Structure 1
C-alpha cells in the first residue's frame, strides 16, 4: 500500500471497535454528536464515503483521540433512516486505505489524510476459495459447529469466515492488512488450520461456530 503526498486524500473517520473488510455491508446506529455531524456531512456530499478504522486502544464514544490502527476500509453510505433519538446508517465497504495523519481540528469529527491501496483484486481462484471453505468446515467438524451457507464472493467469504472464527481484534486486523481478496483468503485458510489444530489438541467442542450479523452502535 504505497502512496506519496500527492496521492493523499482527506477522509472523514468513523472509528469502531471492530474490523471492516471490503465488500461487507455495514449497518451503523448513530447517536454520538461527532458521528451525527459526520453523517450530516455525508448527506450533503456528492460522494458520501467515509473511513472505518478499528480502535487499538480507547473507546468508540466520548471525547478524546482513540489510538487507531493505521489500515482501515472506506465505506460508501447507501441509505440513511431516521429514528427517534438516533440514525440508522447503511454503507458498503469498498477499498482499503492507510492513515498518514489524523486531525481533530478540521471538523467536528475526526478527519484523516490517507493513501489508497493500489491494484487490489476482488476475485480469487476457485481452488483458493474452496480451500478456505474446507478449512473452515474442518474446524467446524472438530468443534461440532455448523454454518448455514457461505457467500460465493471472495471478499464476503473471507469476512464471513473471519466473523465466525471470533478471533481477537489484532488478528482480525492482520487479515485486513494481509492484502487483497486473494491474500485475505490465504490468511483465513491458515487461521482455520491453526484453530482446528488447537481445538483438537484441547478437546474443545462448541454448539455452533457461525458468522453473525452485528449492528454497530455509535
Structure 2
C-alpha cells in the first residue's frame, strides 16, 4: 500500500470478520471519520488498526508502542452526535503489517501492506478438536455465568480459526499471537491449546475464571 493509511490504534486486538463499535470523541479521530466520510465509494472508506502494546488510545501521550500486525477496517455505520462526536461501526477485513507510523497533519497515518492469508488444507481432526474444545469451554462458562456466546460456529476453516480467536478470553499478548499466526492450521492449533489451558484453570478454580470473557462482536463479513 503506497499511500499513507489512516490509523486508529486500539487497546485491543482485532481479528478479520469482527464488527468493531467505537465511540469517537478525540479531535484527531473525529477528523479521521470526517475524512473517511468524504470518500465517495463506501468500500474505500478504510483505515487501519493495530493493538497498543504500551500507552493510551487517547490523550496527549497517544499510542507509545504498537504491534506491527493489525487489521484493515471498513467503516460501515456512522452516527453523528450533537456534540460533534461519532458512534461508528467498522468491520475488520484482511490483516496488515505496519511498516511505519506517522503522526499526520490531522490524524495518525501509517505505511502498511496487506498481509496475505495462505490457503492451506486444515486436517479434519484438528477442526473437530478445535470445535470440541470450544464447546467444552462454552459449557464451563455457561455453568459459571450463563452462556456468554450466541450463534453457531462457521464451517469454513479460515472463518472458524478467526472466530475462535476472537471469542477466546485471552490476554492481549496471546490474542496478538493468534493474529500473527502464519495460517489457519497454526492458528487453530494455538487457540485450541490456549482454550484447553483456560478450561483447566476454570476446573481448578471454578469460582474464578482465568480471564474475563472477551466482549467482542463477530460478524463473518
TM-score (norm. length: structure 1) = 0.80
Match of 2:59 in 1: 62
Instruction: Indicate if the aligned counterparts of 1:21 and 1:155 stay in contact, CA closer than 8 A.
Output: no
Match of 1:90 in 2: 89
- Out of 151-160 and 30-39, give the one that drifted further: 151-160
Residues 1:174 and 2:177 aligned together? yes
In structure 1, runs of 5+ residues without a counterpart are 1-6
Match of 1:103 in 2: 102
- Out of 27-36 and 8-17, give the one that drifted further: 8-17
Looking at structure 2, the residues matched to 187 and 168 of structure 1 have their Cα atoms a distance apart, in angstroms, of 14
Match of 1:23 in 2: 17
State the SS of the aligned residue for 1:112: strand
In structure 2, runs of 5+ residues without a counterpart are none
Instruction: Indicate if the aligned counterparts of 2:169 and 2:213 stay in contact, CA closer than 8 A.
Output: no
Instruction: Indicate if the aligned counterparts of 2:24 and 2:30 stay in contact, CA closer than 8 A.
Output: yes
Looking at structure 1, the residues matched to 128 and 122 of structure 2 have their Cα atoms a distance apart, in angstroms, of 10
Instruction: Indicate if the aligned counterparts of 2:15 and 2:165 stay in contact, CA closer than 8 A.
Output: no
CA offset digits 1:128-182 (Å, max 9, x no partner): 4432221122234455354443331555544554454321111111111113444
Q: 1:92 to 1:122 in 2, by over 3 A?
A: farther
Instruction: Indicate if the aligned counterparts of 2:14 and 2:166 stay in contact, CA closer than 8 A.
Output: no
Match of 2:134 in 1: 136
State the SS of the aligned residue for 1:15: coil
CA offset digits 1:32-89 (Å, max 9, x no partner): 1010011011111242110011111111111234111111100111121212222121
Match of 2:48 in 1: 51
What's the C-alpha RMSD, in Å, of the aligned pairs? 2.9
State the SS of the aligned residue for 1:18: coil
Q: 1:54 to 1:127 in 2, by over 3 A?
A: same
Instruction: Indicate if the aligned counterparts of 2:140 and 2:199 stay in contact, CA closer than 8 A.
Output: yes
Looking at structure 2, the residues matched to 204 and 83 of structure 1 have their Cα atoms a distance apart, in angstroms, of 43
State the SS of the aligned residue for 1:179: coil
